[in-house]
Amino acid sequence: MQTDFPIRKIIHVDMDAFYASVEELDNPDLRGKPLAVGGNEIRGVVSAANYEARKYGVHSAMSGYLAKKNCPHLTFVKPRFSRYKEISQLIRNIFFEYTDLVEPLSLDEAYLDVTTNKKGNPSATLIAQEIRQRILEEVGLKASAGISINKFIAKVASDFNKPNGQKTVNPEEVLQFMEDLEIRKFYGVGKVTADKMYQLGIFTGKELKEKTLEFLESHFGKSGSYYYNVVRGMHPSEVKPHRIPKSVGAERTFNENLSSEIFMMERLEHIANELEKRLKKSKIAGKTITLKIKYSDFTLQTRSKTMPYFIADQSLIFELSKELLYQEKMENSVRLLGISLTNLNTEKKKTEPKEDAISVQLQFDF
């Protein structure tokens, strides 16, 4: 296929039910049983669920109460993030044996650019198979993968044969693949956007492709050009080994709902202290502070303020958070408070595409 962007060999590796799988790895008695990581039936939110639990409709971000209601015999375990990070590093060490171009998205997924790789293997498909097999043999966990010419398609493809599978979308298959793709499976299209597209008669990539750039920009703003390009197989974003964070935050879910602002102050001070530690560890500061409030009825509210200078100090973060908390009256008792900083000192201006990255056509053995 001829594109205005370089065609690469990109692999997206996505671990299957990662947190839950690590718990099953360390405790074999949990295998084969519905399992949720995080929260419990009284408080908290599900961070992850294994495939047995998903059969009952249990999923991440669901309240522990509802998860237990859907699956009465569900087992809850507390998350162990230090262990997940340890396992994640073992997996990344395997990635780096194939390429230095590894971009982690989270502890359980990453992009790999294997256009040129340390093994000298011309087939990204075979590399993905080998990586998944090594993760299984050396770490004891299963992974899925998507392989294609850019990050967007690789990401979408990795969901097709989950769990423990992979899908390759070859260069000559890209346009048809995108036309056949349901719009809700487009990476970056959430429920709200999907519903809006449905109202416009857009249900698949083919119908999206029929819309003009002007039409998409008029209905979706800046995202319109993104949709216009990706449905044509064009996504120029490179695999970036060192991803620059866009926000840093800390939050807490409480064992009991808080109705007194005095108790909220005490919790906010602890959260501000934790946020300061994370900022100093990463040598990051930000100008925009956001207070996140989740009420007992699970409604979510955010309040933000932008300063003319960068902040990272606990005392200032705490004072600004208090100001935001008292900005307006509480709507209900509170189950979660969080503080985050954006508009960071790590953000850089976007650069223009390089001239030598234009109109490249490569024939790959995928």
| Residue 132: CATH number of its domain | 3.30.70.270
Residue 208 included in any domain: yes
Helical pair 261-282 and 314-325, crossing angle rounded to 10 deg: 140
Structural domain contains residue 277:
yes
Judge whether 169 lies within some domain.
yes
- Which residue, of 237, 266, 285, is where some domain finishes? 237
3-state secondary structure of 284: coil
* Tens of pLDDT, residues 259-318: 888 889 999 999 999 999 999 988 899 999 999 999 988 888 999 999 999 999 999 999
Does residue 191 form part of some domain?
yes
135 and 125 part of one domain: yes
With a CB cutoff of 8 Å and minimum separation 6, the contacts of 333 are: 257, 258, 259, 295, 296
Write the pLDDT tens digit of every residue in 205-252: 999 999 999 999 999 998 999 999 999 999 888 998 876 778 899 999
**Helix intervals (H) in the chain:** 18-26, 51-54, 64-70, 81-96, 124-138, 151-157, 174-180, 191-199, 205-209, 213-220, 223-230, 261-282, 314-325
Are the C-beta atoms of residues 258 and 265 closer than 8 Å to each other?
no
Check which CATH number belongs to the domain holding 279 and give it. 3.30.1490.100
Assess whether 126 and 103 both reside in one domain: yes
Residue 154 lies in a domain: yes
Determine the Cα–Cα distance for residues 293 and 256; give it in Å rounded to an integer. 14
Distance of CA 211 to the CA centre of its chain: 28
Indicate whether 216 and 294 sit together in one domain.
Answer: no
Token code pair at residue 56: 């009952």
Q: pLDDT tens-digit profile of 74-133?
A: 999 999 999 999 999 999 999 999 999 999 999 999 999 999 999 999 999 999 999 999
Residue where a domain stops, chosen among 41, 56, 80: 80
Q: Which residues contact 105 (CB under 8 A, 6 or more apart)?
A: 111
243 within some domain: no
Could you say which of 23, 52, 103, 109 is catalytic? 109
179 and 198 in one domain?
yes
CA–CA separation, 243 vs 257, rounded Å?
36
Burial 13-36 (b: 16+ CB within 10 A, else e): bbbbbbbbbbbbeeeeebeeebbb
Share of the chain above pLDDT 70, in %: 93
Residue 365 belongs to a domain: no
Residue 106 counted as domain residue: yes
Last residue of a domain, one of 183, 203, 237: 237
Q: Mark whether 91 and 166 lie in a shared domain.
A: yes
Residues 284 and 317 in one domain: yes
- Residues 110, 197, single domain; the answer is no
The answer to whether residue 266 is catalytic is: no
The reply to whether 153 and 223 lie within a common domain is: no
Could you give the CA distance from residue 317 to residue 344 in angstroms, rounded to a whole number? 14
The domain spanning residue 53 has which CATH number?
3.40.1170.60
Global pTM value: 0.73
Domain count, the chain: 4
Whether the CB-CB separation of 51 and 17 falls below 8 Å is answered with yes
Query: Using CA atoms, how far apart are residues 8 and 103, in angstroms rounded to an integer?
Result: 15
User: Is there a single domain that holds both residue 252 and residue 338?
Assistant: yes
Q: Which domain range does residue 151 map to?
A: 10-17+82-173
